[in-house]
Structure 1
C-alpha cells in the first residue's frame, strides 16, 4: 500500500498488530473444528483408545477420524480469507473518532486550485493527523460462542490436556487394563492403587509405578490390589488392623483402609514391599482474631481465624452463662431458670479455601435473656474426619443494644428479671408501679404509659392465676422489648426531637462515665442527627408558607464547617477528660441549633444532582451485591464458573443483570449533562470521576453479557469507587460556590450583641455574633511555642488513619489555611 506513506509514522505498529489480530481471528473462526478433531484424535492415541477396538470397528473408527479431518480442513480452507492491510486499516480506523485514517488517504473532489479551499483541506488533514495519533492496536475477537454454543472446542482441549498429563503411548494392554497374552504367559501379574481420602483432594497413586521402600500415606487412605492369575501371588499387610481375608485373594481382589503404620507386601511376579508411614490428619484449630465490637443497633461482631491441613467443614460458636461472675442482686438473686447453651453456626470462607481463613461472626443477641450478663464464648470447628478443634473460652458480657433513656432502661431491666426467673413477676410489677408513680414527669408520650399499663395488667393476671406460664412470660418480654424501643427512639420523624435525644444520651453517658467507645458512638449519632436536622430546616426555609421558616432576623447563621469545628472541639474535650467544658459547649451547640438559620449551600440544582447520584450509587451497590450472590451460588452449587453453553437459566440471569447495568449507565450519562459546578477544578474532577464510572459500567455490562461474573464484579467495584469520588468532588465544588456567595453578599446579616457580653470561650453573645473571638488568645512570650505545639498536634492527628475521614479532612483544611 503505497498510500500508507500519507499516514503518520506512529500508526504503523498498531496497524501491523491489528493486521496480525485479523489473521488470528479469521484463522480461529475457520479452523477451530479442524484442530478440535485433531485434539480428540491425539487424546485417543495417548489414552491408548484404539486398543479397545479391533477388526471392522477399528477400521470404522479410523475412517471416521479421517473423514472428519478432510471435511473440517476443506470447510476451513473454504471459509478462510487472508486479511489485507486495507482490512486492518479499516478495522483500526473504525475505533477512532471521525475515521481520520480514511480522511488522510482521501483527496478533495472539488476546490483544486482554490487557495482558500486548499488551505481549509490542509487544516482538516492536520486535525485528522492529530486524531490518528490516538490509534491503538485493535484486539482480535476470538470468541466463538455463537458458532460453538456447546463449547466443543473446550471439550477437545481438556481431553488433550488430560491425555498429556495422564496418557501414554503404551499399546500393551487391552480393555480394562487386562495384560496382553505375552504378559499372561510369563506368569501371574497384579495391579494396585492407593486412593487418599476425598477431602484431602490428593491424587490417587498407581502402585506398580512406585518402587518398594518407605511410603508416606494419609490416614484413612483406601488401598486396592487386583491379582491376575492367583497362583504364586500372595498379599500380606499390617496397616488395616484386620486379618487378611483369604476369600478376597481367591476372588483376585483385596481392598482395605490404612489405619495404622505397618507393611504391605505383594509376593510373586514383580513383588514389592512397602513400609507404610502414617501421615496423620491434624486436628483443626480456631482462635479469636480481635476484639468483640457492638454496633449501635446491638449486633455483635466477633472476628476469628481457623486452620486445618485439608480444610474445615463447619464451625460453631457456643455461648454459656457465666453464673459465678453474675452480680446476684435484686432480680438476679433467685437461681435462673434452666436455659440451653446458645449455639450459632460460624460463617465459612466464601473463597472456597478453608485450610486457613479469617471470618467475622455477626449476631444480634439484644433480646436474649442473657444480654448484658457475663457469659463465656467458645468457638469450635470440625474437619472432614470429624475431628473437632476448640478455642480458649473468653468471658465477656453478652453484647446487646444499649439504652440511655431512663424509663427505657427500667423497662429493659424489668424484662431481664422476668426472663431470669418467673418468680420475679411480683417484684417486676412492684418496680414498674414505683417508677410510673408520676407518669407525666417520665413519659414524653402518654401512649407509651398506656401501653405499659396494659402490660402490667397482663402481668398481674398471670400472677393471680397461680404463676406465669413460659408462654405468657415470653409474650410479656416481647411487649416490654417493643415498649423499650419506643421509649428510646421516640418519634424518629421529628429531626429536632432526634437531635435532642442524641444530645441527652451523650450527656447521660458523660455523667455516668461511659467507655470511650460508647462516647465515640454517641458522638457519631449526634453528628448524624445534626445533619438530618439541618437538612429538614433547609427544606422548611424553602417553604414560604411555613411560619417557622421565617426567622432570619433572630437566628444565628451557621455553616457546615462551623458545626463540624464545634463538634470536633466537643469530642476533643471529651477525649481529654474535660467533661464539664464539653457539656457546656454541648449545651451551647444545642441552643444554637434550635435558633439557627442554615446557610444552605447545596440546595436547588446542586442538592438535586447529589441526591440523584446517591440514588445511582445505591442502585449500583445493590446490583454488585446481586452479581456477587449469583457468583457465590454458582461456586457453591457447581464448583466454579460454568462453561459456555451450560446452564441456560444462569445465562438468562446474567443477561438480566447486564440490562440493569446498562440502564444504570444510561441514567448516569443523563445526569452528567445536568451536573453543576462547571468551570471549577472540583467540578471538572467530578465530571472526570463520573466519566470513569461510566466506562467501568460499560465494561461491567459487557462482562455480564459474556457471563463473566468475576470480571463484572471487579468493574462494578471500580464504578462504585469512582461514583463516590465524583460525589465528593461535586460537594466540594458546591461548598466553594457557597463560600464565594456568602463572602460577596451575605456579610452583616443578623444583629450585633447589644451589651457586648461574651461566653466562656471568649465569643460575643447575641444574634448575629460570629462564632469566633476577636481577642488575641495567644498573648505573651510563649505564643510562638504554643502555636508550634498546636500545629504539630494537628499534623499528628491528621495522619492517624483510624480517625474518621471527615475529621481528617477538617484538620487538613486547617493546615492549608494556617
Structure 2
C-alpha cells in the first residue's frame, strides 16, 4: 500500500458519515434530473382522476388522453433510465474534496515526485500532508443540486403538484376508481356509498350549522324557515321525495327530480323512497318575536335636560334594531293660554334605539340618551313606545309609557316666560300675534334687575321687532318660525345661565357650601348632594367658558405666558372630583379640603387654549382684528344709545344714574361721558367723539347728544368700509358670504345713523343690533375662508383666537373644535362615538389575525377582544 493511500485511508474512515450523505445526495440529484418528467405526468393524471374530470369528458377523449399520458410516461421512464448513472464512491470523494479549500483529499492520495530521499524535502512534504489532514478533518456532507429551473423553465412540475393539492382538498381518492366504468363494453358496477344526499340549512341570522341529512336520526328539530336541498344520483325514477313540511301548493316539481329544494314552514315528515331510502319526523321551531320593556322609574334627566331612559330587549336569535317613538298625548295637555289653539300638525319624535357594540344581542340592557329640550313638546304629556325588530322582520313593542317629555327646566322667571312663549309659537303659527303681545308686555319698562344685561334686552327687542314684522306682513313660514324659536331659545339660555361671572359665582358658592359641610361634619347624604351640586356647577362653568370663547374670544395677536395657562382634560377633571368624593366618604376631610382648594385654584386659573402663531400677522389676521375692534365699538355705541333711551323714560335721573344704567359713566363700552365731559371709552373711535351738553332734561336729548351719536355711527360705518376695501382676496363660498355679511352690516349702520339723526333711538338700537349680528356672521365666514385657504400650510392659521371664538383651535378643556357655531364636536355626538368604537374593534380584530406580529402583541389584542 502506498504512502498516500496509507494517509488517505484513515481520513476516509473518519469521514464515513459525511461521505455516505454526499453519496446519497448524488443519487437523489441524478434521480431528480433524470425522472422529473415521469412523476410530473403521474401526479397530473392522479389529480385529474381524483377531481373526477374523466366523468365530465367523453369516453373517447378520456381514452385518447390516457393513451398519450401512458406513452409519455413510458418515453420519459426509458429516457431517464438511459441518462441515470449510479454514482460510485470516488465520485462522492471528489464531490466532497471539491468543496474543501486546497482539495486536501486529493493531496493526501498524491506521492512525492521530486526530492525523494532528501531529508529537507521529505520533511516539507510531511508538513504539507499534516496540513491537508487537518483540512480534511473539517469536511462535511455536500448538499445535492436538486434545482430543475433550467430543465423545466415553465414550472410544469409545480402545475402538476398544485393540481394534486387541489384534488386532495376538494376531490376524493375513491372517484379515481370510477375510471374503470368508462371502458367500452364495461358492465356498470353498483357504487358503494349513498346514491342520494341531503342538507338542511338554517336561516343565516340564526348562526346555526347546516345539517347533513344522511347522518340524521329519525327526528329532526330545526328553525322554521330552514332550506332543504336533496340530490338524487341515480336514474330518474329510482328515488322519489315526499314531504309535508313546506306546505307548497304551487310550482311543485316531480317527486323524482334529481335535485329538489324547499323551505320548512311547519312540522311534518320528510321521506326518500327507494333503495336505501329514509324517513324523518321534522319539528319546525318557530322564530319568537322580540320584546322590549322600559321602566318609568329608570328615567333620569340631567340639569341641562338630557334624558336617559334605560330599557331591556331580548330575542331568541338577536335584536337587529329598534326605535323609540314619542307621541303627543293631546287629551292630557292642559289646554290653557297659548295651548287653547288647535296645534299645527307635527310628526311624532322617532329616535333610533342604541344597540350593543360588543357581545350578543339576544338579551341586553341599554339606555336611550337624548336631549329634547328644544322640541316644541318639551314638558308636555307624551307617550313613549319602544319597538325592536329581528332579522326575520318580526317586531315587538313595549307598553306605552305616559310621561312629560323630559327637557331642561328654567328657574329664572323671565327665562321661563320666554320659553313658554317659544312653546306657544311652535304650538301653532296662529299664536304669533299673542306671543308678540306677551313679549312686548314683558319688556315694557322693565324693572331693575329683570334683565341680566343690556345685551339680553337688545336681543329681545330684535326678536320682538322681527316677529312683529312677520305677523303684520303675514310672512311667518316654517323656516322663519324655526329661526324665531331658535333665537328665543338662545335668549332664554342667556337669561338663565347669565355670563361667565355668574357661572363662576355659582361654582364658588357650591365649593363653599361643600367646604362648610365638611367642616361641620354633615351627613353622607348632605355631602353627596352638595358634591353633585358642585359637579353640575362645574359643568355649567366649563360650558360658559366654551360659549364665551365662541361668542367673544380674544385678540389673535395676544401672547400669554405659559405659566398662566392651564388646559384641563375632561377625564382629569372627573377624576379629581371623584378623588374628593372618595376622600370624604373615607372620612379624610383634611385631605379632601386640601384637594378641594387645589381644585378651586385650578378652575380659576383655567384659560382658553390658544394656538401659537407666527410673530408676524397675515392680512387676514389684521382684518379679523380690525373687525373685532369695530364690533366692540359698535357694542359700546349701542350701549350708550340704550342708556340714553332709558333716560328719556326717566326724566328725573341725573348724570346717567337712571335705573338699569351701569354707573355714572356708563360702564364698559361707554362712548361719551354722562357727566358732561367728553370721555373715550372702549366704544369710542379716537377723534370721533363729539363734545356737547349732556343734560338729560326732557326735550334736550334729541339735539347735540343724538347728533354726536349719529356722527360717531357714521365714522364707524366709514371705518367698516375701509376694512372691507382692505380685505384679503379670499375666494370660495365662505369668502363671498363674509363680504355679503359685511355689506349687510354696513346697510344696518346706515339705517342706525338715519334713525339717530331722526331722534328715533329705538329704531337705531334695532338697526345697531342687526349690524352687530351681521358683523359676527362676517367674522365667522371670514375665519372659515381663512381656514380653507390656510389648509395644508403648516404654521398658518394657528395664531387666531378670533374675537367670536368660533374659530378657536381648542375649547377650555383642550379639545379640538371640529366645527363652528352649532357643531357639537367629535366626542359629543352619540353616533360618532358608536361608529368610532366599531372601527376600533374592527381594527383590533384585523390586527389579531396577522400572525406575523409579535406574540406578546397578539396576546394583548386577544385579551382586548375577550374583554370587549
TM bin (shorter chain): 0.3 to 0.5
TM-score, with structure 1 as normaliser: 0.45
TM-score, with structure 2 as normaliser: 0.43
Which structure would you say has the larger Rg? 2
